[in-house]
A = this chain, B = another copy of it.
Amino acid sequence: MTPYGLLVQRFDRHYLLRSSADVLEWDAQAMMPDGGGDLRAAQLGTLRVLAHEAIATPDMAERLAAAEAAPPEDGWERANLAAMRRAWVHTAAVPSDLVEAHARAASACELAWRAARRGDDFASLLPHLEHVVKLTRQVGEAKGAMMGLSVYDALADEHEPGAREALLTPLFARLERELPPLVDSIVAAQARTSRAPELVGPFPVARQAALGRRVAERMGFDFTRGRLDVSAHPFCGGAAEDVRMTTRYDERDFLPSILGVIHETGHALYEMGLPRAWVRQPVGRAAGMGLHESQSLLMEMQAARSPEFLGYLAGVAAEELGVELSRETLVRNALGVERSLIRVDADEATYPLHVIVRFTLERALLSGDLPVGELPGAFRDAMERVVGIRPPNDRDGCLQDVHWPSGAFGYFPSYTIGAIAAAQLFAIALEKHPMIPSELTRGELGTLREFAREHVHQHGSRFDTNAILERATGRGLDVDALLAHLRRRYLGA
C-alpha cells in the first residue's frame, strides 16, 4: 500500500466513526428520551475518542510526511492529502483524554442547559459552563500551540478554515458601524406603512409538516437520502448520503417553520451536492461552517424571501393549510425588521449585530477577561449597546443559545460569514442567470441550485472558503454585497 493509500484507509475509518456519532447526535436531539442522556454522553465520548484515535496515532506526522514526499498525481488526491493534514493538525494536537473530557462535559452541560433555559436559571448552568469554558480553552491552547495561532483563532479555524480574528474584526466593525443607521432607516420606513396583516391560525402541525415536505422536495431535497423531523433547535445533521434535517412547529404561525425548513434545505442541498466519490474523505466535506451557512442563507434569505418566491409560497401555503394568503401578506410578515431579543428569530438586517455580541463575549470568556459568572450581565449590556435592546431575563439573554453549553466557541461568526457570502453568491448568480427571478415565482430553484452546485458544492474542500468565493465571484469575503442587498430590499435603494 502507498503511504497515501494508508492515510485514505485511516480517514475512511475516521469518517465511519464520526458519522456514526453524528447519527447518535441527531437521535439525541430529535428522538432520544431524556433518560438516555447519560448513556448517550458516554457513547458519544467513546465514538469521538475512537474517531480521534483513527487519525491521531503517534506515527501520523511521519505518515503524512511520507505521503507528501511522493504526492499523488491526481489533483483531487493531492487536495485530499492537504485536507488530511489540516484535519490532523486540528485533532492530533489535542490529547485524547482532553477530547473525551470535553465531550462528556459538553454533553452534561447541554442537558443542564435545557433545564436552565426552561427555568430561567443561569445559576444551575454555571458550574457546567465554567467546566466547558475551561476545557474548551485547553483545547484551543493545544491547537493554537501547534498552529501558531491564538486560542480563539485556533478554535474558529476548526469551524471555518482561515477564519481569523484579524480578518473578521474589520468586516464586523463595518457592519457594527453601518447596520444600526440602516436599521433605523428601515424601521422608520416600515413604521410609515400599516402593520403587517396578521396570519390567522391555528395552523395544524400535520399540515405544516406536509407543506414543509412539499417545499423541500420542490427545492431538490432528496427524501431517499434524508429525513425531516422535529427538534427544539432546528439543524441539519447526518451525512451526505443520509441527511437529517429538523424543524419545529408553532400552531399559531407557520412562517418561521417553513422558512426554517427552507434554510435547512439549503444546508442539505450542500451536503447532497458534495462530490460523491469523496464524501468519506476530508476533501469531500463542506469547506467550512460559514460557507455551509451561505448555502442555507442563499436559499432562505436571498431566494425564498424575495417577493418572487414569496408569491409562490403564498400559493402553496394557502393550498396546504387551507387558508387565504396573498403574496403581499407574506412579504410584509417575512420581511419585518426590528430590534429583538432572540438571535434565531432575528431578521437579516439585525442578525449580524447579534453575532457581533457573541463574537465579543466569547473571546472575553476564553481569555478570562469575562468570568463565566458575569456572563448574564455582560450579555445584557452588550445586547443593549450593539443590538439596541436589553434582555429582561437570562432565558431571552445568555441562555438562548446551545452553542456555548455544547462547547462550540468560535462558531458564531460563521452565521455572518454565511450572510456575507450568500449575498455575494446571489448577486453573481443573478448577473449570470437573469431568468432566476422569474423561476422563483414558480418556486423553481433549479438554476440557482445548479449554480451553487457548480461553484460551491462540487468543490467539497478542494479550495478554502475565500478561494471558492474568489473563483465564483471574483472577490473574497466582502460586505458590500450584503449591505447593497439590504438597502435594495428594504429601502428600494
Give A residues with C-beta under 8 Å from B. Answer: 13, 16-17, 19-20, 23-24, 27, 31-36, 38-40, 42-43, 46-47, 50, 222-227, 238-239, 241-242
What distance in Å separates the Cβ of A368 from its nearest Cβ neighbour in chain B? Answer: 34
| Closest B residue, CB atoms, query A31 | B227
What distance in Å separates the Cβ of A225 from its nearest Cβ neighbour in chain B? Answer: 3
User: How many copies of the polypeptide does the oligomer hold?
Assistant: 2
A–B complex contacts, Cβ < 8 Å, 19 sampled: A16-B39, A16-B42, A19-B43, A20-B24, A20-B46, A20-B47, A23-B23, A31-B227, A32-B242, A33-B223, A33-B227, A34-B224, A35-B222, A35-B225, A35-B226, A36-B241, A36-B242, A39-B239, A39-B242
Q: Is the CB of A20 within 8 A of B36?
A: no
A35 partner, pick from B40, B47, B224, beta carbons under 8 A: B224
Q: Is the CB of B23 within 8 A of A27?
A: yes
C-alpha spacing A40/B20, complex, angstroms? 8
Q: Is the CB of B242 within 8 A of A46?
A: no
**Which residues on the B side are within 8 Å of A238 (C-beta)?**
36
Q: Is the CB of A20 within 8 A of B35?
A: no
**Which residues on the B side are within 8 Å of A38 (C-beta)?**
241
| Closest B residue, CB atoms, query A242 | B36
C-alpha spacing A226/B34, complex, angstroms? 9
C-alpha spacing A379/B274, complex, angstroms? 46
Name 12 extra pairs, CB < 8 A, besides A24-B24, A34-B224: A16-B42, A17-B46, A19-B43, A20-B24, A20-B47, A23-B23, A23-B24, A33-B224, A33-B226, A36-B225, A36-B242, A38-B241
| Closest B residue, CB atoms, query A39 | B241
**Which residues on the B side are within 8 Å of A224 (C-beta)?**
33-35
Q: Is the CB of A242 within 8 A of B19?
A: no
A39 partner, pick from B19, B40, B50, B223, beta carbons under 8 A: B19
What distance in Å separates the Cβ of A55 from its nearest Cβ neighbour in chain B? Answer: 14
The 5 closest A-B pairs by CB, nearest first: A36-B242, A35-B225, A16-B46, A39-B241, A20-B43
Q: Is the CB of A241 within 8 A of B20?
A: no
C-alpha spacing A272/B19, complex, angstroms? 28
**Which residues on the B side are within 8 Å of A27 (C-beta)?**
23, 27
What distance in Å separates the Cβ of A92 from its nearest Cβ neighbour in chain B? Answer: 18
C-alpha spacing A178/B202, complex, angstroms? 63
**Which residues on the B side are within 8 Å of A35 (C-beta)?**
222, 224-226, 241-242
A33 partner, pick from B17, B34, B39, B225, beta carbons under 8 A: B225
C-alpha spacing A253/B16, complex, angstroms? 41
**Which residues on the B side are within 8 Å of A16 (C-beta)?**
39, 42-43, 46
What distance in Å separates the Cβ of A11 from its nearest Cβ neighbour in chain B? Answer: 13
| Closest B residue, CB atoms, query A272 | B35
**Which residues on the B side are within 8 Å of A13 (C-beta)?**
46
**Which residues on the B side are within 8 Å of A20 (C-beta)?**
20, 24, 43, 46-47
**Which residues on the B side are within 8 Å of A19 (C-beta)?**
39, 43
What distance in Å separates the Cβ of A350 from its nearest Cβ neighbour in chain B? Answer: 37
**Which residues on the B side are within 8 Å of A226 (C-beta)?**
33, 35
**Which residues on the B side are within 8 Å of A31 (C-beta)?**
31, 227
C-alpha spacing A27/B227, complex, angstroms? 12
C-alpha spacing A340/B20, complex, angstroms? 41
C-alpha spacing A23/B239, complex, angstroms? 16
What distance in Å separates the Cβ of A341 from its nearest Cβ neighbour in chain B? Answer: 31
